[in-house]
């Protein structure tokens, strides 16, 4: 019986894809890949950039240079996975009427239209640029996002870090508090959930008015631990205001969980609780320093345009950290904050400056992690050394970075990919605790997925 051979597709790769993931250059196994010459020109402008973007541009340039030893890029070179890579040097001239002929995107559209008419196999333009895809669709050009890193679930199925279970027998609750029959109860939880709990997943087990808040940890003999029993709660007068904050504090103080991710809307307490946990760890001698970073994603301005050294340039982006310091430490004029910075106990650095460093004995905070790609987060997470904890904070409904969304940002990917690992934990904070006004405003003015509602 004859088997049908796979239909070869032709993918035209935009600059945004190669800057997002350097491995995209060789990720289209068994298909033809076209790199427009003008894309190489754009990559050249990014090769000296700090961070992942510059690294990706340099990688693609070196990879293509190495391919030249195997053949001619203009004619196309086949690599080990059956993919053929070719650099297109023409086809950019016939930009559709109404579009700027000098625009790189529009010239790539011209190439896509030409190849679609000339080739028998399907032609797909791959770009992370949403507007680029919209323009392509309007002109009948087949365009797609780069899907390699996207989590393949619905937003409604995002991992929250906790589950609620109803049981019929109050003796089950009593047994949990007495650490009895835990194996049988875990089997019951598995039956109720349709799966075993994820590592460090919190469980709210209820029977009428009785309840048990616990955390599942497969490496422990008892498997389920009372959330209240974990150390660190109530330090410095700080107390959880809701169930989810209690879960977050348990993770922040657990010495067995070096990777923590916390999501939640503005005012839910994720930054405040994390910063206070870091300071407590510093005072107790668990850590030698707190490092705070974020992906600098400005609106209309870049970090280079601000005056001063790197620390001064970062100040506008770490204002939320300083506000929480004022509140939690009663440090109105930031005297304590400045003293800790002078001693090296608090360090502030852009995400792009993390390459080549190692962070041991460090409480590491990545704020606004929803604006980082998985490749940027990988660069940082793999730098974490011994006796350190890294905490990712963010709100996936507030993504400012072009080319990533709720399914492809680094924060979502980390929380989903690590939910089966005992070294990681995640919690989604649901309630705003900044003030009553803040909580009501968030509920009334913001619709689902952070889209502003029109008020008539």
User: Residue 36 forms beta bridges with which residues?
Assistant: 88
The pTM for the full model equals: 0.86
Domain boundary among 84, 109, 144: 144
* pLDDT for position 442: 63
Q: Are residues 138 and 267 in the same domain?
A: no
* pLDDT for position 222: 85
Domain count, the chain: 2
* pLDDT for position 68: 95
CB atoms within 10 A of CB 233: 15
Domain boundary among 144, 173, 201: 144
Cβ atoms 123, 116 nearer than 8 A:
yes
What does DSSP assign to residue 14?
Answer: P
Q: Are residues 276 and 402 in the same domain?
A: yes
Q: Are residues 406 and 276 in the same domain?
A: yes
Cβ atoms 82, 30 nearer than 8 A:
yes
Give the domain CATH number at 126.
Answer: 3.40.50.1010
Q: Are residues 293 and 434 in the same domain?
A: yes
* CA neighbours closer than 13 Å in the CB half-sphere of residue 353: 13
pLDDT tens across the length of the chain (456 residues):
444 567 899 999 999 999 999 999 999 999 999 999 999 999 999 999 888 889 999 999 999 999 999 999 999 999 999 999 999 999 999 999 999 999 999 999 999 999 999 999 999 999 999 999 999 999 999 999 999 888 988 888 999 999 999 999 999 999 999 988 888 999 999 999 999 999 999 999 999 999 999 999 998 888 999 997 655 555 566 788 899 999 999 999 999 999 999 999 888 999 999 999 999 999 999 999 999 998 765 433 343 444 556 666 666 667 778 888 888 788 888 888 889 999 999 998 888 778 788 999 999 999 999 999 999 999 999 999 999 999 999 999 899 888 889 999 999 999 999 999 999 999 999 876 666 676 666 666 655 444 444 444
For the purposes of burial, counting CB atoms within 10 Å of the CB of 296, is it exposed (0-12), middle (13-18) or buried (19 or more)? buried
Cβ atoms 121, 10 nearer than 8 A:
yes
Residue 19 inside a domain? The answer is yes
* pLDDT for position 115: 96
Residue 181's H or E segment, with its range, is none
Residue 239 inside a domain? The answer is no
Residue 268 inside a domain? The answer is yes
Residue 352 inside a domain? The answer is yes
* pLDDT for position 27: 95
Cβ atoms 125, 112 nearer than 8 A:
yes
The structure tokens 């196994």 sit at 29
Residue 153 inside a domain? The answer is no
Domain boundary among 88, 119, 144: 144
Q: Are residues 279 and 136 in the same domain?
A: no
* pLDDT for position 456: 40
Residue 209 inside a domain? The answer is no
Q: Among residues 394, 424, 411, 356, which one has the least CA distance to residue 161?
A: 424
Residue 231 inside a domain? The answer is no
Q: Domain residues for 112? A: 10-144
Number of helices and strands in the chain (H, E): 15, 16
Q: Among residues 365, 428, 431, 443, which one has the least CA distance to residue 395?
A: 428
Residue 340 inside a domain? The answer is yes
Q: Are residues 138 and 285 in the same domain?
A: no
Q: Are residues 266 and 393 in the same domain?
A: yes
* pLDDT for position 455: 43
User: What CA–CA distance (Å, rounded) separates 226 from 230?
Assistant: 7
Give the domain CATH number at 289.
Answer: 3.40.50.300
């Amino acid at each position: 019986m004859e088997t049908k051979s796979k239909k070869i597709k032709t993918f035209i790769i935009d600059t945004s894809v190669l800057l997002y993931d350097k491995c995209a250059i060789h990720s289209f196994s068994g298909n033809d890949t076209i790199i427009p010459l003008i894309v190489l020109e754009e990559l050249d402008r990014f090769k000296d950039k700090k961070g992942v973007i510059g690294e990706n541009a340099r990688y693609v340039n070196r990879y293509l240079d190495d391919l030249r030893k195997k053949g001619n890029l203009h004619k196309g070179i086949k690599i080990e996975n059956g993919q053929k890579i070719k650099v297109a040097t023409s086809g950019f001239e016939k930009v559709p009427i109404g579009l700027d002929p000098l625009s790189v995107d529009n010239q790539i559209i011209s190439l896509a239209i030409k190849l679609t008419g000339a080739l028998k196999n399907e032609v797909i333009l791959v770009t992370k640029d949403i507007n680029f895809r919209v323009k392509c669709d309007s002109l009948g050009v087949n365009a797609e996002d780069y899907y390699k890193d996207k989590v393949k679930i619905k937003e409604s199925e995002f991992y929250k870090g906790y589950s609620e279970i109803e049981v019929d027998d109050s003796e089950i609750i009593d047994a949990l508090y007495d650490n009895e029959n835990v194996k049988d109860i875990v089997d019951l939880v598995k039956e109720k959930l349709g799966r075993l709990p994820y590592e460090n997943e919190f469980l709210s087990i209820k029977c009428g008015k009785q309840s048990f808040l616990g955390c599942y940890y497969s490496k422990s003999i008892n498997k389920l631990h009372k959330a209240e029993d974990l150390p660190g709660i109530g330090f410095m007068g700080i107390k959880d205001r809701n169930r989810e904050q209690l879960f977050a504090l348990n993770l922040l103080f657990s010495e067995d969980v070096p990777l923590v991710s916390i999501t939640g809307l503005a005012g839910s307490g994720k930054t405040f609780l994390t910063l206070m946990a870091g300071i407590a760890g510093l005072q107790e001698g668990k850590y030698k320093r707190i490092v705070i970073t974020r992906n600098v994603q400005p609106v209309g301005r870049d970090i280079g345009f601000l005056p001063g050294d790197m620390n001064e340039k970062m100040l506008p982006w770490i204002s939320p950290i300083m506000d929480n310091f004022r509140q939690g430490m009663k440090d109105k004029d930031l005297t304590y904050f400045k003293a800790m910075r002078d001693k090296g106990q608090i360090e502030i650095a852009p995400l792009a400056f993390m390459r080549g460093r190692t962070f041991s004995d460090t409480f590491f905070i990545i704020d606004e992690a929803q604006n980082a790609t998985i490749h940027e987060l990988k660069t940082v997470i793999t730098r974490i050394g011994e006796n350190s904890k890294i905490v990712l904070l963010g709100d996936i409904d507030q993504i400012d970075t072009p080319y990533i969304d709720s399914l492809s940002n680094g924060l979502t990917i980390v929380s989903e990919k690590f939910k089966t690992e005992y070294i990681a934990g995640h919690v989604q904070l649901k309630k705003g605790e900044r003030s009553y006004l803040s909580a009501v405003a968030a509920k009334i003015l913001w619709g689902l997925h952070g889209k502003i509602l029109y008020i008539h």
